[in-house]
Structure formats: C-alpha cells, structure tokens
C-alpha cells in the first residue's frame, strides 16, 4: 500500500524531450552501442509528465547514449507496432537502462533486478507504479512492486517484439495519426 501512495520522485525529465518532434525521428536509425558517447548514468531519468501523459510523441530519452548492453541483455530497441491491436511503443536501451514509451507514459528503469532502480512513475490511470526489472534468459522481465506473479515480459521472436499479448513489428516512424494524443 505504501508503494502506491508514496510521493513521486522529483521530475528530472529534460524539458526538450517533451516539446514535440519525436514523431519526426527515424526510429530505425539506432545509436551504435560502442561506448563512444554518453553513458546511461549521464542522462537524467525521464518520467511521465503529470497525470495527463505526453500530448506529442516525445524525443528519445537515450538518443545520445552509446553504452553497450550488459551480457545477456537482448537488444529490444526500436519503435514497435501491433497491427492487430494498434498498440505502439518505443523501447530504448543503453547500458542496463531501459525506457519504454507508450500510451502517454514514459517508463525509465534500470535492468539491475532492484526495486529501487525500476520504474517509479504512474500508469495511464495515474496510479503510482513501481517495478523490479531484470534480464533473464534473453527476456526483459518487469515485476510490478517486485512481486513475481505481477510480471510483464518483453523478448524477441525472430524480427518481432513480444510483450504480453502484443506481437509487434518494427516500424521506423510514428504513424501520423499517433504523433499527438489527447490527455487522459
């Protein structure tokens, strides 16, 4: 109960991320993770703006980060669309950091297996959420509140990203009708 009612952490989201223009980004042009740029630690954590979520598709959080993924960390990066449900999400990775942007939320986390460094934000209904995130056997696992039976998994199956009931194909640009969205 405490985890749901605890105050949100101070918002460290870089203002420029939420100014719009993220829909114009070529999401197939991914950073090379060769260590030549910023590390995951050098980029401020991003949060869902307020309780209304973003209204324009945000710029990538980890665009300047080139820290290699940890051993065993699957490369899930890209913009993904489930044609059958319309679910759209962007997955960014750098070092052990993962950012999932979708449906008005920006969930920024570390895949280090700790609740402390997992998502500490809100869901689309503005309810506080926390998770513990880790890589296991080529799968990104996120346990809600650190409880293993509340688990969301993401993994690659061929060229498709699997996330719960969503089977998503890679696309390079946010569809024009999804660049802006109404607040919650």
- Residue 183 located in a structural domain: no
Can you give the pLDDT at residue 124? Answer: 82
Can you give the pLDDT at residue 127? Answer: 83
pLDDT in tens, 96-131: 999 999 999 999 999 999 999 999 998 888 888 899
Question: How far is CA 152 from its chain centroid?
Answer: 13
- Residue 76 located in a structural domain: yes
User: Between 112 and 147, whose confidence is greater?
Assistant: 112
- Residue 60 located in a structural domain: yes
CA distances for 140 relative to 14, 42, 112, 154, 164, angstroms: 25, 23, 11, 5, 11
Is residue 93 within 8 Å of residue 69, measured between CB atoms? yes
- Residue 35 located in a structural domain: yes
Can you give the pLDDT at residue 144? Answer: 87
Full domain range(s) for residue 71: 2-178
pLDDT in tens, 9-50: 889 999 899 998 899 999 999 999 999 999 999 999 999 998
Question: How far is CA 145 from its chain centroid?
Answer: 17
- Residue 131 located in a structural domain: yes
Number of domains in the chain: 1
pLDDT at 171 over 70: yes
- Residue 12 located in a structural domain: yes
Please calculate the CA angle 169-174-175 and round it to the nearest 5 degrees: 90
Can you give the pLDDT at residue 125? Answer: 81
Is residue 15 within 8 Å of residue 58, measured between CB atoms? no
Per the prediction, the chain carries an average pLDDT of: 92
- Mean pLDDT, to the nearest integer, of 177-182? 91
pLDDT in tens, 39-58: 999 999 999 998 889 999 99
- Residue 184 located in a structural domain: no
């Amino acid at each position: 109960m405490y985890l749901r009612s605890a105050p949100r952490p101070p918002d460290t989201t870089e203002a420029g991320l939420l100014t719009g223009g993220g829909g114009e980004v070529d999401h197939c042009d991914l950073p090379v993770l060769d260590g030549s740029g910023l590390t995951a630690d050098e980029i401020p954590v991003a949060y869902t703006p307020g309780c209304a979520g973003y209204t324009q598709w945000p710029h990538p959080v980890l665009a300047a980060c080139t820290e290699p993924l940890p051993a065993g960390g699957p490369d899930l990066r890209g913009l993904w669309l489930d044609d059958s449900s319309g679910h759209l999400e962007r997955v960014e990775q750098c070092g052990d950091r993962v950012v999932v942007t979708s449906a008005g939320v920006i969930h920024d986390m570390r895949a280090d297996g700790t609740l402390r460094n997992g998502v500490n934000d809100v869901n689309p209904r503005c309810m506080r959420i926390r998770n513990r995130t880790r890589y296991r056997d080529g799968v990104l696992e996120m346990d809600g509140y650190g409880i293993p039976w509340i688990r969301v998994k993401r993994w690659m199956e061929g060229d498709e990203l699997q996330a719960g009931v969503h089977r998503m194909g890679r696309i390079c640009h946010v569809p024009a009708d999804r660049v802006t969205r109404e607040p919650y």
